[in-house]
Amino acid sequence: MRSIWKGSITFGLVSIPVALQTASRSEELKFKLLRRSDLSPVNYKRVAAVDGKEVPWDEIVKGYEYEKGKFVVLKDEDFKRVDLEATDTIDIVDFVDLTEINPIFFHRPYYLEPQKGGGTAYHLLRDVLAQTNKAGISKVIIRTRQHLAAVKANGDLLVLELMRFADEIVDPPAIKGVEDKTPGKRELTMAKTLVDQLTAKWDPNRYSDDYRSALMKLIDQKVKSGGKKLPSGGHARKQATNVIDLAAVLQQSLKEAGGAKSKPARKTKTRPRAKAA
């Protein structure tokens, strides 16, 4: 796999040469816009808002709107003037307990591959992070943009997970209903029991994108049918209902969860099986 960035991790006087490898990918289906009459692909054009004329690439510049309708143009040399230090390093400035970091800050993971001469220090940092359950918080510049990032142990490897800066997190809105009546002790006990019965060991391979699979199946059917109209299908949407008696609903849920344990195990991709008592 081709690396997208090369540099080094530094903490204190320790420097570890590493390369960044992609650790995730998007599995979304991509569709093209077509003209209905002949299925000709529809292309996008760069059109000026003031006169509707198409603009060639060599006439396009980057501009920042500092006031409504007022722009300042930035050229390539302007971006080069923004000379930040350590553009090729992942400089760890703090070590933080992972449990203290709200998962909402994490954004995108990358594998860190040790380069020649960095194996021992790489393993040392990985083992320390794993044993202390800490992350190394750093800043790194990738493709002209600076990111907040966390260096974390992940099995045999180190992972760099890009993070959001604090000002990129939107303040939670005032959501109604959060301060409703506090559940009673009985309901809380039953809810904990239900969660325990539905708890399973984490296995990411148990879950898949059912919607994507169904959509691919539909696409295959349309290809094989030669464009003929397929019979209508689909499922009725589940309607949300108001819970009048929370204790009764929990009791019924526990009964169904207990009954599921007595039946032969059935593999599911949407929810873990109930744990055997």
pLDDT tens for 193-203 read: 888 888 888 88
16: in domain: yes
Contacts of 82-86 with C-beta under 8 Å, sequence gap 24+, read 84/141, 84/146, 86/10, 86/139, 86/141
User: For 67-94, what is the mean pLDDT?
Assistant: 80
149: in domain: yes
Domain stop point among 124, 141, 166: 166
151, 266: one domain: no
Higher pLDDT, 158 or 274: 158
35 CB-side CA count, 13 A: 7
pLDDT tens per residue across span 127-169: 999 999 999 999 888 877 888 999 999 999 999 999 999 998 8
191, 267: one domain: yes
140, 191: one domain: no
* CATH code where residue 133 lies: 2.40.290.10
Q: Encode 67-99: b = buried (16+ Cβ within 10 Å), e = exposed.
A: eeeeeeeeeeeeeeeeeeeeeebbbbeeeeeee
184, 157: one domain: no
210: in domain: yes
- Residue 273: pLDDT over 60: no
272: in domain: yes
From start to end of 98-154, where are the E strands? 106-114, 134-142, 145-154
**pTM beyond cutoff 0.75:** no
206, 147: one domain: no
213: in domain: yes
- Burial bucket for residue 247 (CB in 10 Å: 0-12, 13-18, 19+): middle
Percent of the chain with pLDDT over 70: 83
Distance CA 253, CA 99 (A): 31
Contacts of 115 by beta carbon, 8 Å cutoff, 6+ apart: 6, 17, 18, 19
Q: What token pair was written down for 32?
A: 């093209």
104, 209: one domain: no
User: For 236-264, what is the mean pLDDT?
Assistant: 70
- Residue 190: pLDDT over 50: yes
> Which one of 72-86, 150-164, 242-256 scores highest in mean pLDDT?
150-164
Domain stop point among 118, 143, 166: 166
130, 202: one domain: no
32: in domain: no
101, 202: one domain: no
Contacts of 163 by beta carbon, 8 Å cutoff, 6+ apart: 105, 106, 107, 147, 148, 149, 150
Distance CA 119, CA 112 (A): 11
The pLDDT, as a whole number, for residue 165 is: 92
Residue 142, classed as helix, strand or coil, is strand
Higher pLDDT, 75 or 134: 134
CB 3 within 8 A of CB 19: yes
- Residue 276: pLDDT over 50: no
Domain stop point among 134, 166, 198: 166
- Burial bucket for residue 152 (CB in 10 Å: 0-12, 13-18, 19+): buried
The pLDDT, as a whole number, for residue 271 is: 44
Domain of 253 in residue numbering reads as 180-223+244-277
CB 92 within 8 A of CB 136: yes
150, 216: one domain: no
56: in domain: no
User: For 38-67, what is the mean pLDDT?
Assistant: 90
Closest C-alpha to 150, from 131, 158, 142:
158
91, 11: one domain: yes
Number of domains, the chain? 2
The mean of the pLDDT values for the chain is 82
102, 208: one domain: no
- pLDDT bracket for residue 263 (50, 70, 90): low
Closest C-alpha to 162, from 107, 80, 219:
107
User: For 48-55, what is the mean pLDDT?
Assistant: 91
185, 162: one domain: no
93: in domain: yes
Residue 271, classed as helix, strand or coil, is coil
User: For 170-180, what is the mean pLDDT?
Assistant: 71
